[in-house]
């Protein structure tokens, strides 16, 4: 896992820094093919909706989750440029229950294709943490899994993820057919999903001040993208496919500021097109023998102010906003995937600002092992908040 993560940041470092040397005529990013289901197509008047307004909804059946009512809910959200977009979330509700506790779980989406989003991947086995995500159904809770990377599947765009997450919860409360209008709400997620969750918590007081959250649990947070990018090199890595996905995802969200496609050679442009609609396993398999060195036409050091500004804009370490909701942060002390010191800095700053934070340190080195170890604490923390117990502070 450590080598995979290093590869991801190699692509960020390589791709983002070469972007400022692009000529005026910059090739467009390769956006994913739209989901062919018309449910996922935004209406022409999407800008007339307010953030969190429901655009449409539908109920459907999903075999592995018997005893639950399952809905797709499309809603209006906002991208990093402030433009209106349509988002989608999938919610599983215990059948016959009104206003159950609701947890929005931001799953791992390490992909580039719309078919890899939870709204589709719960059907095709591309959501690696789906089992853990739906465990709260056994507690009688409703569980929502938003497509938090937006319609362009902008992998790596953390600020976008926070806004989409908040708007997805707004939409669930505004859809009367779901019976969630008075449900207590919590957010949870790990790794990339933890990043989306933590950003949503930090942005909630200003982006969605009317939204009342009972609690937030976020683990394995990539809290400083700039730090991670500066600490890597350019060698081959078996996880280069995920590196590629991160670079392409950020270009999709910041096409003018990060024109990475303009710096690709012929093989790089072919690989961009080849992988534009693919999911985690495909990306890993086809990226294992490739590197940034092979696919780029030029190379520079990590000295681009614009690239570093984008990385900081998507790093919690440099985001001044402080969450007001009781929050559990859990992190492996020796995690080689997401540096501990950056997460510790965030937690310390939150505590100094008076935020009700519980910071749990796990003496574990492997990233996904920490996810499994911390998830029971996360669910118990949120259950206590649903019961109305005072939130502990442990920094």
All domains in the chain, ordered by first residue? 2-31+226-312 (no CATH), 38-224+315-386 (3.40.50.1820)
Neighbours of 48 (CB within 10 A): 10
Distance CA 283, CA 278 (A): 7
Residue that is written with structure tokens 């007339």 in the block:
48
Average pLDDT over residues 363-382: 92
Q: Are 244 and 270 in contact (CB under 8 A)?
A: no
Confidence label for 130 from pLDDT (cuts 50, 70 and 90): low
Q: Average model confidence (pLDDT) for the chain?
A: 87
CB 114, CB 34: distance < 8 Å: yes
Give backbone dihedrals phi and psi of 10, rounded to 5 degrees, phi first: -60, -45
319-357 residue pLDDT tens: 999 999 999 999 999 987 788 999 999 999 999 999 999
Tens digits of residue pLDDT in 175-188: 999 999 999 999 99
pLDDT class of 128 with cuts at 50, 70, 90? low
Cβ neighbors of 254 (< 8 A, separation 6 or more) are 80, 157, 310
Task: Report residue 58 as tokens.
Answer: 């539908």
DSSP 296: B
Strand 68-78 relative to strand 185-190: parallel, antiparallel, unpaired? unpaired
- 309 pLDDT exceeds 60? yes
Q: Which residue has the tokens 């791709």?
A: 15
User: Among residues of the chain, what percentage have pLDDT more than 90?
Assistant: 64
What would the two tokens of residue 56 be?
């449409």
The per-residue pLDDT for range 246-263, each reduced to its tens digit, is 889 999 999 989 888 888
> pTM for this structure?
0.90
**pLDDT tens-digit map of 69-82:** 999 999 999 999 99
**298 or 229, greater pLDDT:** 298
Q: Evaluate if residue 19 carries a pLDDT over 60.
A: no
């Amino acid at each position: 896992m450590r080598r995979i993560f290093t590869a991801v940041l190699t692509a960020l470092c390589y791709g983002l820094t070469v972007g400022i040397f692009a000529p005026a005529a910059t090739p467009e990013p390769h956006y994913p093919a739209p989901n062919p289901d018309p449910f996922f197509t935004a209406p022409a008047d999407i800008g007339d909706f307010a953030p969190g307004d429901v655009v449409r909804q539908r109920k459907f059946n999903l075999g592995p989750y018997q005893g639950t009512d399952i809905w797709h809910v499309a809603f209006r959200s906002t991208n990093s440029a402030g433009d209106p977009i349509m988002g989608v979330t999938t919610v599983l509700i215990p059948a016959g229950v009104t206003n159950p506790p609701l947890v929005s779980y931001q799953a791992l989406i390490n992909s580039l294709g719309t078919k890899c989003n939870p709204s589709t991947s719960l059907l095709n086995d591309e959501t690696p943490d789906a089992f853990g995500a739906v465990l709260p159904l056994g507690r009688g809770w409703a569980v929502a899994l938003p497509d938090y990377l937006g319609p362009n599947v902008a992998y790596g765009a953390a600020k976008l993820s926070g806004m989409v997450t908040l708007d997805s919860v707004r939409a669930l409360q505004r859809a009367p057919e779901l019976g969630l209008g008075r449900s207590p709400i919590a957010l949870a997620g790990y790794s990339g999903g933890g990043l989306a969750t933590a950003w949503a918590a930090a942005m909630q007081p200003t982006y969605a001040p009317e939204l009342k959250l009972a609690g937030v649990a976020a683990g394995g947070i990539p809290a400083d993208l700039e730090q991670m990018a500066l600490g890597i090199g350019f060698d081959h890595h078996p996880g280069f496919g995920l590196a590629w996905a991160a670079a392409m995802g950020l270009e999709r969200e910041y096409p003018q500021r990060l024109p990475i496609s303009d710096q690709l050679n012929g093989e790089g442009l072919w690989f961009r097109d080849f992988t534009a609609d693919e999911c985690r396993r495909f990306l890993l398999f086809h990226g294992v023998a490739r590197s940034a060195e092979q696919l780029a036409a030029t190379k520079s050091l990590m000295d681009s102010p614009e690239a570093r500004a984008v990385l900081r804009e998507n790093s919690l370490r440099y985001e001044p906003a402080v969450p007001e909701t009781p929050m559990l942060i859990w992190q492996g002390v020796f995690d080689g995937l997401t540096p501990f010191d950056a997460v510790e800095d965030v937690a310390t700053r939150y505590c100094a600002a008076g935020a009700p934070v519980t910071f749990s340190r796990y003496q574990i080195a492997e990233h996904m092992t920490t996810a499994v170890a911390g998830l029971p604490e996360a669910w118990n923390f949120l259950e206590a908040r649903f019961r109305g117990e005072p939130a502990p502070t442990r920094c």
